[in-house]
């Protein structure tokens, strides 16, 4: 055999090693260069083995032809598997490249979502902080306004109580008939009528006091409810500790003032009830004294 034939046969062995190397390189890198070189080596090996198998010279050499035939038959099976594997690998590479593209798009969408959520969260937190401040200011103003009204009611009731105490002369210890210095039955009767009118007006004032007490209790409950709601909000809002303490102090002050006002109205209501009993005694004494005159 000529040296060129031996050299070509040796190159065939190198081509098989080259095919294995390029196939692994293409599987790992997915590059078009490895794929192109792999196909070139594959077709070169296939062409040479086909020429060896159909060469008349080698067919006249039984041992050489038998070796070539075994190699050629093996190559046919290997070639079929190689083509199937290469097609599968090409599909895998195509899918992997698609996954890379989709993964990049997905990462971009995730980045956009994170940035959007961050912006929304920042605006929402700022809005919530402003809402908390406004709510606290409104609550304090409502509390102060309610307390002002309660103090006005307390002042008017106190003035009214002082005037009625002047009429009843405080704690009545002497005889009621002697305490009223009137001459003649007509004067005593007129005093009794006037006192009855005054008692009716006093009864209306007493009802007003009771309504004021109920209103004070309702306001106290409303302030407590608002305070509890704001305290719950403060637990989840991210604000400085100094601002948190300031809001809590304002809430506690409003609650304390509401409680004190309610207690004062209760005291006033009790005093009015006591005064009402005294005035009723005066009225009854006037009625008892009138027939004797």
Q: Is the pLDDT of residue 287 over 70?
A: no
The Cα angle at residue 289 between residues 284 and 291, in degrees rounded to 5: 115
pLDDT, tens digit, for every residue of 83-136?
A: 888 888 888 878 888 888 888 888 888 888 888 877 877 877 777 778 778 888
Phi, psi (deg, nearest 5) at residue 55: -75, 120
CA distance 133 to 258: 21
pLDDT digits (tens, 9 = 90+) for 190-199: 555 665 666 6
Is a pLDDT exceeding 50 seen at residue 139?
Answer: yes
Q: And the tokens for 162? A: 């002082």
What's the pLDDT tens digit per position in 145-186? Answer: 888 888 888 787 676 666 556 555 544 444 444 444 444 444
First to last CA, the chain: 169
Cα 67 to chain center, whole Å?
80
Comparing 102 with 29, the larger pLDDT belongs to: 102
The confidence score (pLDDT) of residue 282 equals 64
Q: How many angstroms from the chain centroid is the CA of residue 177?
A: 73
pLDDT at 163: 59
Determine the average pLDDT of the residues in 52-79.
86
Q: What is the Cα–Cα distance from 36 to 39, expressed in whole angstroms?
A: 5
Contact, 191 vs 288, CB < 8 A?
no
DSSP 38-59: HHHHHHHHHHHHHHHHT-HHHH
What are 243-262's pLDDT values in tens digits?
777 777 777 777 777 677 76
As a whole number of angstroms, the distance between CA 76 and CA 171 comes to 130
Q: Is the pLDDT of residue 1 over 70?
A: no
Rg value, the chain, Cα: 54
Higher pLDDT, 109 or 234: 109
At residue 162, the pLDDT reads 66
Give the domain ranges of the chain: 3-117, 124-292
Taking residues 23-44, report their average pLDDT: 83
């Amino acid at each position: 055999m000529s040296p060129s034939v031996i050299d070509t046969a040796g190159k065939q062995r190198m081509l098989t090693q080259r095919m294995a190397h390029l196939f692994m390189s293409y599987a790992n890198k997915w590059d078009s260069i490895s794929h192109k070189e792999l196909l070139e080596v594959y077709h070169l090996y296939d062409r040479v083995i086909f020429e060896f198998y159909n060469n008349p010279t080698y067919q006249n050499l039984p041992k050489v032809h038998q070796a070539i035939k075994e190699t050629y038959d093996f190559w046919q099976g290997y070639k079929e598997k190689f083509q199937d594997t290469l097609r599968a690998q090409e599909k895998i590479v195509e899918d992997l490249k698609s996954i890379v593209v989709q993964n990049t798009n997905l990462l971009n969408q995730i980045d956009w979502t994170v940035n959007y959520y961050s912006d929304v969260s920042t605006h929402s937190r700022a809005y919530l902080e402003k809402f908390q401040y406004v709510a606290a200011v409104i609550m304090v103003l409502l509390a102060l306004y309610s307390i002002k009204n309660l103090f006005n009611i307390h002042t008017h009731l106190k003035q009214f109580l002082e005037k009625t105490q002047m009429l009843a002369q405080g704690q009545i210890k002497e005889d009621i008939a002697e305490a009223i210095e009137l001459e003649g039955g007509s004067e005593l009767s007129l005093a009794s009528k006037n006192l009855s009118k005054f008692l009716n007006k006093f009864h209306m004032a007493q009802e007003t006091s009771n309504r004021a007490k109920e209103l004070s209790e309702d306001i106290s409950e409303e302030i407590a409810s608002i305070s509890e709601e704001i305290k719950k909000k403060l637990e989840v809002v991210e604000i400085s500790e100094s601002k948190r303490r300031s809001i809590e102090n304002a809430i506690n002050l409003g609650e304390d003032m509401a409680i004190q006002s309610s207690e004062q109205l209760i005291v006033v209501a009790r005093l009015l009830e006591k005064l009402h009993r005294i005035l009723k005694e005066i009225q009854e004494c006037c009625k008892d004294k009138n027939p004797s005159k």
